[in-house]
Amino acid sequence: MAIANHSETLDKGGAPGFYRRLANIFTRTISILNSVGTLWVFALMFLICSDIIARAFYNVPIRGVPEIVGYSLIGALYLQLAHSLHVGRFARAEMFIEPLSRNRPITYTLFQIIFSLGGIFVFGLIAFGAITKFEEAWPDLKFGVEGDFTVLVWPLRLIIFIGSVMVAVKYLSLFIENLFEFRRQIIVRMSLSEKEPLQLYYLLIILGLFLGGYYVATGDLSKVAIGAFSLIGMLVVIFMGIHIGVGLILLGFAGIWMMMGTPTIAINAVKLASNEFLRSYFFGVIPLFVLMGLIVNESEIGGDTFDVARWVLRKVKGGLGVATVIANAIFAAITGSSIASAAVFTKVAVPHMMKHGYTPKFAVGTVAGSSILGMLIPPSLLLIIYGFVAEQSVGLLFLAAVIPGIILAIAMSIAIIGMAHFWPSYVGRPSMDYNIDMKIGTAAWMVLPIIILVVAVLGGIYGGIFTPVEAGAVGAAGALILSIIKRRLTWPKLWKVLMETGHTTVSVLFLILAANIYARMLALSGLPQTVSELIGSADLGFMGFLILYLVLVIILGMFLDSISIMLIILPLVLPIVLNFGGDLVWFGIVTVIAVEMGLLTPPLGIAVYVVKSTISDASITLNQIFAGAFPYVVIMLLVTILLIVFPQLSLFLLNS
């Protein structure tokens, strides 16, 4: 996920001393709030596991666990939002803004000032909605079941208000910092008698956007036309570099206002979504699976898996490449993260492959290419998000992804063996015997933790023992216990895992919240239904629609992260799929694979950048990694086509 780091020193633009002192106090405050939110999420794991034990062994479930989890998630989210912004974890596209920061610093700073104003407005709006909801809840409004389990609502409203105010203040501090920086840059430029070329050009773009927005707002346009303009505005605003969540909320708010002719309904839409939408037990699956994956990552279980795989395949030509794919597939079954897989196996697999005669391009390309298995093989964060957006069962999506995940891993393995025989200039001329001294018992002991976690998590879901949320809690607790037994998780590592879990969860949930507001606006416009009718009248057919959809997703994948693509495009296309009679579970598998191609394609290619940032060999360039990963993009495309032609491959386990 492309992010922007805003934690620069506060005095770079000449900020006065009292401002720096206030900023330091504020930073410490949001750090404390973030720590509270982090521990709050960690406590949910113990609560859910306690509920499972109480229910299974004593037949006395803990009352109100779903309500507490939903309550806690939204509370922890708002406690951690400001700190996540501070450390640069709000997602944004950087293909435009990042080069601008190097080549046109004054214009870049001007854009940051404008973007900060947008953040102040959005979170000021959320804070306004929260304080009105707080007044409604004070002093004795409760939720739950009267006489059984109830929780006061007003503390949650107060947390939402405080958290959103903190984010607005953080955006205000960014606004002030960039004003000081803008002034400093102007002074420097004037003293050097230099002018920044094309600055007027960018200012004209901004002016054009404002004028275009004014025309749309004041013109006599239909709801469908406003929805269409919002799509164009979304692409422009996001590609310019505004935080994606902020951009989606701004567009959703403006669209509803224009369609309804009054800001009141738009304010109510933001207020309802920001206070109620994320207060759901089922969103608990996100932080719990993220926590499990990060604990496994820190425990170096991925390295053990690779060692066993390369021992098993030591006599196969291209065996280290196949071992990387298999280890990635197994690792994916407990992490659900392509980024984690890319980071782990860059450290573990690339040095071994290069040492034994594989080309650097093949080594890094194989790690990047096979890392995408992390988002397909369940448990998968993308499938969880798709399930929320499409209102489909996460358990069924996990089940549907098993065979496609195996097919993709097998296809990559066969391709590697084939390339080792027929394309040695790409693969290299590796040795086939790595002389690994390992016994079957040792290998079994090394992969036992993964087997235990896979059986506990996926077996529990498919066996109907756990819900996905409970499976996430069991998996996280199991990973924690196993890492302690293996003595690979210190207190500093655990705190690092908890902080990263919080930041990842916040960035995902905030995007989901923003996409929900934007989706409400699109649904109100009637644009999805209109597009569906146009496609039907154009006689493209379902296959023609799928081709267009895949092309669009792959193109967007070159610029946006996977989660943003899904949250932006799914509200538009899901009604079309339903009108064609398509199965939304199967469509989710196709979507995830198509979206994951974007992790390997330039210019964004997040998995490629992760490999580059993790690898210790500075001589390996980004171009080499992109080139090395290209064969795997082709393989993914072929597997996607296979799943489209034979949808029963995805639905086989569901129908058996």
What does the pLDDT read at residue 4?
43
How do residues 536-547 score in pLDDT, each as one tens digit? 777 778 898 899
Tokens, residue 487 = 């003595």
pTM, rounded to two decimals: 0.83
Q: How far apart are the first and last CA of the chain?
A: 37
- What 8-state DSSP symbol labels residue 149? E
Q: What is the mean pLDDT of residues 461-468?
A: 84
Find out whether the peptide bond into 263 is cis, omega within 30 degrees of 0: no
d(CA 273, CA 167): 17
- The C-alpha R_g of the chain, in whole angstroms, comes to 25
Q: What is the mean pLDDT of residues 71-95?
A: 89
Given a cut of 70, whether residue 2 has pLDDT beyond it is: no
What does the pLDDT read at residue 552?
86
What does the pLDDT read at residue 583?
93
Which percentage of the chain shows pLDDT scores above 90? 33
- What 8-state DSSP symbol labels residue 276? I
Given a cut of 50, whether residue 390 has pLDDT beyond it is: yes
CA 484 to chain centre: 28
DSSP string, 152-192: ESHHHHHHHHHHHHHHHHHHHHHHHHHHHHHHHHHHHHHHT
- Neighbour tally for 44: CB within 10 Å: 23
Find out whether the peptide bond into 571 is cis, omega within 30 degrees of 0: no
Given a cut of 60, whether residue 473 has pLDDT beyond it is: yes
Nearest to 470 by CA among 34, 37, 50: 50
Given a cut of 70, whether residue 13 has pLDDT beyond it is: no
What does the pLDDT read at residue 1?
42
How do residues 404-460 score in pLDDT, each as one tens digit? 999 999 999 999 999 998 998 989 887 765 566 778 888 888 888 888 888 888 888
Given a cut of 70, whether residue 210 has pLDDT beyond it is: no
Tell me how far CA of residue 206 lies from CA of 109, 115, 183, 452, in angstroms: 13, 12, 20, 55
What does the pLDDT read at residue 237?
78
Residue of higher predicted confidence among 475 and 379: 475
Domain ranges of the chain: 17-277, 283-489+526-655
Per the prediction, the chain carries an average pLDDT of 85
How do residues 308-330 score in pLDDT, each as one tens digit? 888 888 888 888 899 999 988 88
Which percentage of the chain shows pLDDT scores above 70? 90
Q: What is the mean pLDDT of residues 607-612?
A: 84
Residue with tokens 């790409």: 426
Q: What is the mean pLDDT of residues 571-588?
A: 91
Tokens, residue 17 = 């001393």
How do residues 320-375 score in pLDDT, each as one tens digit? 899 999 988 888 777 777 777 888 788 888 888 888 889 999 999 999 999 989 88
How do residues 48-68 score in pLDDT, each as one tens digit? 999 999 998 888 888 888 888
Nearest to 357 by CA among 305, 321, 328: 321
Given a cut of 80, whether residue 157 has pLDDT beyond it is: yes
Show the 3-state SS of 301-369.
Answer: HHHHHHHHHHHHCCCCCCHHHHHHHHHHHHHHHHHCCHHHHHHHHHHHHHHHHHHCCECHHHHHHHHHH
Name the least confident of 209-218, 223-232, 386-395, 417-426. 209-218
Q: What is the mean pLDDT of residues 75-90?
A: 93
Q: Is 439 exposed, middle or buried (0-12, 13-18, 19+ CB in 10 A)?
A: exposed
